[in-house]
Structures are given as C-alpha cells and as structure tokens.
Amino acid sequence: SLINQAYRTGYHFQPPKNWINDPNGPMVYKGIYHFFYQYNPKGAVWGNIVWGHSTSTDLVNWTPHKPAIFPSQQADIKGCWSGSATILPGGKPMMLYTGVDSQLRQVQNLAMPKNLSDPYLTEWIKYRKNPVMAPTPKNKINASAFRDPTTAWLGPDKMWRVLVGSRVNKLGLAILYKSKDFEHWTLAEKPLHSAEATGIWECPDFFPVKIDGNKGLDTSARGKKVKYVLKNSLDETKHDYYTIGTYDAVKDEYFPDKGMIEGDSGLRYDYGKFYASKTFFDSEKQRRVLWGWANESSNVKDDVQKGWAGVQAIPRNVWLDKSGKQLLQWPIKEIEKLRGNQVKWPSKILEGGSKLEVTGVTAGQADIEVGFEVSHELEKVEVLKEKWYNPQLLCSKKSASVRGGLGPFGFLTFASNTLSEYTAIFFRIYKHHKKHKVLMCSDQSRSSLNKYNDNTTYGVFVDLDPAREQLSLKSLIDRSIVESFSGGGKAVITSRVYPTQAIDNQIKLFVFNNGTSSVKITYLNAWSMKKAQIS
Ligand code: DQQ
C-alpha cells in the first residue's frame, strides 16, 4: 500500500525489495567500495540467504550487482551466512563466510574474486576444498553455534588469525584459528576471549584503534600507541557490545581494560536498533568505517505487505575517545553531499514548556544538529534516584510528555500536525553524588497510531559534563529511521518508526523543551537531505 512505501528510505542502503540483514565483507578494492549483505532473494522475511552485492565510489550512492555468493557447494548448500573480507598483502581480497552445509552444520568457507582486474568483482569463486573450518567430534565445537568469521589479521609470526563466534552453553566465545596460507586453518588451543553468561557471540569484530586521534588502522597494525576493540553481537538481547583492551599477539589473548563490562551492561555501539555490525579499514581515507543493520520495528505481516524489511545504518567513522574509555562514532563525511536546503538559527533561548518548529527543510528526510547550553540552570536539576539507574527504563518511565526540571529537551521528529504522533529524541539532566548525569532518550511511545509496531523506548547515560560543555545532538532523519548522535558521537541511538499521519509532506520537526528551566540553543543547523542513488 501507499503508506508502506512512505517508509522506504531516501538515503539509507536498501535493495529494491525483500529481506536484508547483516552487513558482510565490506572493503575497498581499487578505489571502489564493496558492500555485501545477507539477502533473501525470495521474500521479505529471513530465509534462502545469499550475499547481495553493491559497489560505490562514495559510500552514499550505490550500484547493485547480482548476488556474489550463493549456495553452490556441499559446504554452503543450506545458506551463505555472514563473513568478512581480508585483503592479502599484494591486494587480493579473500572472503571467509559461514556456510550451512548439507547436514545443517555451520562451517567456514573461503571465496575469492574470479577476475582481479575487474574492480567491481562481480564474479566470485569458491575454494574447491571448502569448508576450511568445521566442527568435529574431536574439537567439540557446537555445530549450530559456529559462525561469522572476522577479517583476519597477521601476527608477529607471520601467521594469519581469524575469529569465529561461538558458545559453550552460556559462555560466549571468540574461537581463534590460525593459518600460514589462508587455506589451511588450525584451531588454536584456546579462544582469543570468552565471557560468562553472554550466550553465543554472533558477528565478532576485532580491530586496533589509535590512542590519539581519529585515524583508522589496518586490522593487522600493531604498536605501542594502539588499543584493541572486541565487539560481539549478543543474540539474546540483539545489541552490539564492545570492550576496549589490550591484545597479546604472542599468547594470542585479549584482555579488556579494567572497568570494562562484558555482556548486557557493557558499552554498545548504538542503544537502539543496530545489530550484526562490522567495521573495515578504509585504506583510501585512513579511517575505520562501521556498518550495521537496523531491522524493522513493524510486524511480519506489514513487512510482507510492504515487500521489504531491513535497512543499513549510514556508515560511521569509529575511533577512540581521548578518555580511552569508549569509542566515538560519526556518520561518514560523504553523507553531507546530500545536504540541500539549509536552515540556520541564531542562538536563542528555549523557554521551559515551549517548542519551536524547524521550517524550511523536508522534515521527513533531514539532517539536524543543535547545541544546548544549560550551565546557568544546573541548580534546578532533579536528583537521580537509585531505582532509575537503568537508563532505558528511566527513558520509558519519563517519556517526552513527562515534565522535568532540566529536560526533557531535544527534537520532536516525525511529528504530525496535531502532535498525535511524534518520535522524541531528548536529554534530561540529573544530579548524582555532586556530579551531573546526562540522560539521552529516543522515545517511540508516541511514534505511531498503529499499535502493531515495536515501540520500545531506548536510553543511555552520556559521558558529558553540562557544567562545562554544550550538549550537542544530531539526528539523521529518513522516512522510517532516525539515527541520533549526542556529545559528538559519544552515544548513538537508532530508531525505526512508522507514523500513520506524519508521513511525506505532513511531517513536522520541532525543537522542544518540556522542562521547567529554560535552555539556550547555541546553534541550530538543519538541511533537507536529497535522495541517494541506491537501487
Ligand atoms: N545472521 C546471519 C548469521 C549471524 C546472524 C544469518 C546475525 O551468520 O549469526 O543470516 O544476525
């Protein structure tokens, strides 16, 4: 129906129709960006999985190609699941991916381009002797929990290493394999890392980050000024978690830094919908780029009716915060090419209980950035109660319509004329043991009058000090998705919403303050976003 097409995104990656999930094998080859993804060629629900394939010169506009990897061997006849690219010294890309074999075992396979002189790499051939890693009675690997190989890296002994996600009961594992020639792989004595009570680790990712600055590093880079990030996607909660730590390349062990939490209370790339993500090193621009899948919040029936499900979040730069305690993320610079009409506000006061409409941009497909200054109002903030320590629960209890002291203030996106629908992205400030705590929320409770959607609200405490710094908020709004970045990338929340009244040119955008204190808008910039060339 028409309303469902209103939800198709204008500049987020999605194929013309059908189901997509995890990003696979992102890389740059001969100056061309390659993106592969889990794809069902036959429908809008998960199944019949092959690797869809598109290429781009800017990570914004895409040319579709035919599926690159699809079932064709014993070792992948029941599905070609997630995997990663490794560029060998000399420039040849290799794909390691999970195959579901004829006995429904999960195994790891190797595929490579047929013709290296074609920068689009449209033809892929498979290693004749696949699988290259398999569960056996001897290695005791769980054949239904053995998947999603990472990009491989070279150790000091010139051996390749790769991780495969797994579990033993509830113990989550990053199984380690080593190889001299990329074809013959040997299971290491112990996993690179494991953690209790986390369940299977899907789509692990392991990469070095510089301790200073935002430049990316090749996955095989080492050095004194380097830390490591280990990410896993927890199937139980459907979120992507990471820790920062050190890597002993001789013992082949990863040690999270002191204070890092593993499992559900740990750090996340995104506190909303963002799963099975994967980074790659962009050697053209010396940056590390993160891709992640944002699934639908609608129900299966609606997905089937609209004929598609799943989008990819806008690729993000990732680098280490100067505190060393978390990552920062920001949409890749190239996305700014799509900025059209701009609206710019002078600094102004936003009184408690007021809202201002942002006119002059297409509110349903926009990029908006604002700075809030609140240092003059910090006397009036509420005290954070102990029972409120869970930020997500706090955001759902204190939705945008609940007045506070300092906050809620932020954006009302996808707002209808009468405010019967809106998705609120906002801050609330609390006092906690003589310090301040900044809560960031994405409130979906009023996003749609259609109640057959998942309208879970998301929240996170952001490491910002409102006494000393502005609170910045940026949202990329695109028809059924809003990706919000606070504190210059310290916390990110992605939400999927399906308004019934706030659609197309009926969508409005506001800056609001539903607290009793006023806040100062120090700047506001908003742009209409043009459509990208995608399918
Ligand atoms: N999706 C793939 C698996 C992976 C899961 C199958 C994560 O390889 O573990 O489509 O979303």
Residues 276 and 207 reside in one and the same domain = yes
CA distances from 514 to 78, 355, 356, 497 (A): 53, 8, 12, 22
Q: CATH number for the domain including 272?
A: 2.115.10.20
Whether 148 is in the pocket of ligand 1, judged by its Cβ within 6 Å, is yes
Tell me how far apart the alpha carbons of residues 422 and 24 are, in angstroms, rounded to a whole number. Answer: 33
User: Tens digits of per-residue pLDDT, 104-126?
Assistant: 999 999 999 999 999 999 999 99
Q: Which residue has the higher pLDDT, 420 or 2?
A: 420
Q: How many CA atoms lie within 13 A of 297 on its CB side?
A: 25
8 Å CB contact between 226 and 210: yes
Whether 240 is in the pocket of ligand 1, judged by its Cβ within 6 Å, is no
Whether 413 is in the pocket of ligand 1, judged by its Cβ within 6 Å, is no
Residues 318 and 347 reside in one and the same domain = no
Residues 202 and 243 reside in one and the same domain = yes
Residues 244 and 380 reside in one and the same domain = no
pLDDT at 452: 96
Mutate to test the pocket of ligand 1, among 40, 48, 70, 148 (most ligand atoms within 8 A of CB): 148
5 falls in which pLDDT band (50, 70, 90)?
confident
402 falls in which pLDDT band (50, 70, 90)?
very high
Q: Whose CA is nearest to atom 6 of ligand 1?
A: 81
Tell me how far apart the alpha carbons of residues 330 and 6 are, in angstroms, rounded to a whole number. Answer: 27
Residues 157 and 217 reside in one and the same domain = yes
Residue where one domain finishes, among candidates 272, 307, 331: 331
Whether 317 is in the pocket of ligand 1, judged by its Cβ within 6 Å, is no
Whether the pLDDT of residue 90 is over 90: the answer is: yes
Neighbours of 89 (CB within 10 A): 7
Joined together, the tokens standing for residue 1 give 């129906």
Residues 245 and 376 reside in one and the same domain = no
Q: Ligand 1: which atom is nearest the Cα of residue 148?
A: 8
Whether 81 is in the pocket of ligand 1, judged by its Cβ within 6 Å, is yes
Residues 327 and 374 reside in one and the same domain = no
Whether 473 is in the pocket of ligand 1, judged by its Cβ within 6 Å, is no
Exposed e or buried b per residue across 382-399, where buried means at least 16 C-beta atoms within 10 angstroms of its C-beta:
bebeeebeebbebbbebb
Q: Does residue 207 fall inside a structural domain?
A: yes
For residue 513, report the distance from its CA to the centre of ligand 1, in Å: 41
Residues 39 and 166 reside in one and the same domain = yes
Mutate to test the pocket of ligand 1, among 24, 38, 238, 275 (most ligand atoms within 8 A of CB): 38
Q: Tokens 């002189």 identify what position?
A: 117
Tell me how far apart the alpha carbons of residues 405 and 439 are, in angstroms, rounded to a whole number. Answer: 13
Number of folded domains that form the chain: 2
User: Tens digits of per-residue pLDDT, 10-65?
Assistant: 999 999 999 999 999 999 999 999 999 999 999 999 999 999 999 999 999 999 99
Whether 203 is in the pocket of ligand 1, judged by its Cβ within 6 Å, is yes
pLDDT at 305: 94
Residues 270 and 396 reside in one and the same domain = no
CA distances from 21 to 60, 312, 510 (A): 18, 8, 32
Domain residues for 230?
Answer: 2-331
Mean pLDDT of the chain: 97
313 falls in which pLDDT band (50, 70, 90)?
very high
pLDDT at 55: 98
Whether the pLDDT of residue 134 is over 80: the answer is: yes
> What are the catalytic residues?
22
Residue where one domain finishes, among candidates 271, 297, 331: 331
Q: Does residue 534 fall inside a structural domain?
A: no
Residues 119 and 199 reside in one and the same domain = yes
Q: Does residue 356 fall inside a structural domain?
A: yes
In the chain, % of residues over pLDDT 70: 99
Mutate to test the pocket of ligand 1, among 40, 147, 236, 291 (most ligand atoms within 8 A of CB): 147
Instruction: Give me the mean pLDDT over the 85-95 stretch.
Output: 98
pLDDT at 415: 98
pLDDT at 380: 80
pLDDT at 1: 55
User: Tens digits of per-residue pLDDT, 224-265?
Assistant: 999 999 999 999 999 999 999 999 999 999 999 999 999 999
Residues 413 and 463 reside in one and the same domain = yes
Q: CATH number for the domain including 436?
A: 2.60.120.560
Q: Enter the pTM of the model.
A: 0.98
ipTM over 0.95: yes
Query: HEC string of 39-76?
Result: EECCCCCCCCCEEEEEEECCCCCCEEEEEEECCCCHHH
User: Tens digits of per-residue pLDDT, 463-505?
Assistant: 999 999 999 999 999 999 999 999 999 999 999 999 999 999 9
